[in-house]
Amino acid sequence: MILPRLPSLLSMNSPKILITHASAGSGHTKAAEAVYSYLKAHNPEARVTFLNVLDKTNGIFKTGYVQGYNFLVNSFPELWGAGFALSSSALFKKTVKVINNSVERINSGRFFDFLKAENFDVIVSAHFLSSWAAAFMKKTKKIQSRVVTVVTDFDVHPFWVNSGTDDYIAGSEFTRGRLVSLGVEPERIHTFGIPVSEKFLLPMNRKEMCRKNGLNENEFTVLLITGSFGSGPIEDILTILQGQAQIIVVCARNKRLYDELVSKQCPMVKILGFVDNINELMACSDLIITKPGGLTISESMVMELPPVFISAIPGQETGNVRFLANQGVGTYIKDVVNVRDIVLDYKGHPEKLAAIKTRICGIKKPNAVKDIADLILK
């Protein structure tokens, strides 16, 4: 007779952990995945669950939440920015937060029931929706879990701050200061950085990576990517830079853009769709032109890749730009006609790139995911 395999004593005694996020913006998901993957790889006995909080909400609410966010940030970013500013203002932030939390409470019943039923020891959240829900359950004594919030941008919207949260993970000292200004006790804040996948920490040789990805290692190389939607003025930038540098264009899920650019057969241009080797492409590059999302910034910082920013979403991403500008890292382009001069300036003055890399080394936090995991397991 074959006996069923019983869990080891180590597994039974290890903490029960939930890593949660919301699928509205890829950065939240990537941050949560980084923590989850690290825990699974380095603590195989850990009892870790990975969850999109929207999967435990009303179906109509989930669809509206994701599609509404995508529609606003891609089609009406100014409207999104106005809402961000209104909900952050001293005059309206409390009222807006009460209304927002009331709507989320109505639609989050399944998530509340899930938290009570599973009785997690630690809940780690990389999105303000799941952070609020877990903190609300803790504050109302429905659960006793330790609640850890991972802020995924360098600036902080008030929605991230909730009574009932035990620990906050901040991306920088600037982020820490913003949390304190919003009423968070300093001892609850851990300035570990925004967690990125371990693959960005692997040593990579530029020559080998260029050979692997069909690129010329001796050419000044620009990586052009604008997130999972492949939105923004990619075609315009490519037209302006064509012939001035070797260019890697990542179209992500934008199939129309991919097909159109491939059909042009531009020399010294590599057109890619959705990829999972951004770390390799960064290792091949001298400069990245991208949207200033918190995760993309953290990934490029770990890789010591100087950034040029475009198409910032008003609110969280413009806050990220301000943070980096204060550190002397990154250039924000409001008008793409300026991109050629900026790229050629960097190409012709390698000492400027070297100076930026030095400043990056002063602010990057490559150990973020390990430090967060150690805090969770403490």
As separate numbers, helices (DSSP H) first and strands (DSSP E) second, the chain gives 17, 12
CATH of 198-363, one of 3.30.70.360, 3.40.367.20, 3.40.50.2000, 3.20.20.150: 3.40.50.2000
What are the domain boundaries of the chain? 9-195, 198-363
What value does the mean pLDDT take over residues 248-257? 90
CATH number of 9-195: 3.40.50
pTM: 0.91
**Do the domains spanning 9-195 and 198-363 agree at the CATH topology level?**
yes
Pull the structure tokens for residue 173: 């000292």
Burial of 32 (0-12, 13-18, 19+ CB in 10 A): buried
Locate tokens 């990975």: which residue? 50
pLDDT per residue as tens digits for the range 325-336: 899 998 899 888
Residue 303 is classified by DSSP as T
Q: What's the confidence (pLDDT) of residue 1?
A: 38
Mean pLDDT of the chain: 91
Pull the structure tokens for residue 276: 């999972």
Rounded CA-CA distance 374/201 in Å is: 17
Provide, rounded to the nearest whole percent, the portion of the chain with pLDDT above 90.
Answer: 71
Query: Could you tell me which residues come within 8 angstroms of residue 321 by beta carbon, excluding any fewer than 6 positions away?
Result: 292, 309, 312, 330, 332
Residue of higher predicted confidence among 203 and 5: 203
Of 226, 209, 324, 320, which is closest to residue 274 (Cα–Cα)?
226
Locate tokens 């949660």: which residue? 20
Checking if the pLDDT of 3 tops 60, the result is no
pLDDT band at residue 372 using 50, 70 and 90 as cut-offs: very high
Under a CB-based contact definition with an 8 Å cutoff, are residues 127 and 53 in contact?
Answer: yes
Rounded CA-CA distance 272/249 in Å is: 6
pLDDT per residue as tens digits for the range 167-177: 999 999 999 99
Q: What's the confidence (pLDDT) of residue 316?
A: 87
Q: What's the confidence (pLDDT) of residue 334?
A: 86
pLDDT band at residue 12 using 50, 70 and 90 as cut-offs: low
Query: Could you tell me which residues come within 8 angstroms of residue 119 by beta carbon, excluding any fewer than 6 positions away?
Result: 16, 143, 144, 145
Locate tokens 């409207």: which residue? 79
Burial of 200 (0-12, 13-18, 19+ CB in 10 A): buried
CA 124 to centroid of chain Cα atoms: 15
**Helix/strand/coil (H/E/C) assignment for every residue in 84-118:** HHHHHCCCCHHHHHHHHHHHHHHHCHHHHHHHHHH
- Which of 3-7, 312-316, 357-361 is the most confident on average? 357-361
